[in-house]
Amino acid sequence: MAKKVVVTGGAGFIGSHLAGELLRQGYSVVIYDDLSTGKMENVDLLLKNKKTKFIQGTVADLPQLQEVFRGIKYVFHLAAISSVPRSIADPLSPHNVNATGTLNVLVAARDNGVKKVIYASSSSVYGDTPTLPKREDMPPNPLSPYAVSKLTGEYYCQVFREVYKLPTVSLRYFNVYGPRQDSDSQYAAAIPRFIKRSYEGEPPIVFGDGEQTRDFTFVKDAVAASILAAESDASGIFNIAHGESVTINQLTELIIKLIGNDIKPVHWEPRAGDVRHSLADISKARAFGYEPRYRLEAGLAKTIGWFSEKQINIK
């Protein structure tokens, strides 16, 4: 089978980085995205490569997926509505895209003889279970419609693996960050929001007391894990993280220090659906060759550098 792959959500933050690395490694890449949150500017340079093809479409469209997946070796399924607050405000849309859309992807992959589906899941499926670090054999405890939708996708992957013999891997990403992550949406993740406000001299807004902890994963590490999961014999569910946690207060201090502004964060009320502590056990993923390379300060420096350059170009 030719080295031809599909990245659903390929014009998004993680998807565009993944598509670029797949091209660098010699794959032909079909970028499939409905552009609801993905951006053409993320993939414009990639489309200059003759091995890249862009198709605008939604994972809700099973007939189109059936066409797109013909002759495809791997499907990297990243298309999703990826926001806990948005899912609480509107639970139906994330279900339709994240759960039903994943079912459509698996059906089309099965029908077209795809070698493996690599599904982007989320650490949110663990919820607020007190035991740390989080291990893949722990019972899930989703606290938001988003988390439920991602867990549903995992179950569909498991069923298609067992019933239809379609190889699948579900990667539970922990708080992925890096260049190209959206800072402007009202549902933007913490790091791009903090960088944007700090860069503009505004105090970062922390929900709660800031003593909640997170295990942050630089996007290049998430990409490396995705490709390793495809090319190895990996099967099942794996945590993808750095394996170390920091408090949100420590995170904001580090961002402010790296940017060089003399500001202090402000604290707002905690948000519904947010977990208190998160830390991953990544020993299972290490078994297929995953090893995180980017410590938080180095990853943040790269992210801030990209954001600064982007702002200069806009001005």
Q: Which residues are 238's β-sheet partners? A: 171
Q: For residues 152 and 119, is the Cβ–Cβ distance under 8 A?
A: no
Residue 208 CB contacts under 8 Å (≥ 6 apart), including other chains: 248, 267, 268, 269, 270, 271, 274
Rounded to the nearest 5°, which phi and psi values hold at 189? -70, 165
Nearest residue to 10 via CA among 63, 55, 74: 55
* CA 203 to each of CA 182, 198, 252, 303: distance values in angstroms, whole numbers, following the listed order: 18, 6, 10, 18
Torsion angle in degrees (nearest 10) through CA of 76, 20, 147, 149: -40
* DSSP strand pairing (168-173 vs 116-122): parallel
Amino acid letter, 193: R
Go through the chain and tell me how many residues it has.
Answer: 315
Task: Give the ranges where the chain is alpha helix by DSSP (H).
Answer: 13-24, 62-68, 84-89, 92-94, 101-111, 145-163, 190-199, 219-231, 248-259, 283-286, 296-314
Give the active site residues. Answer: 146
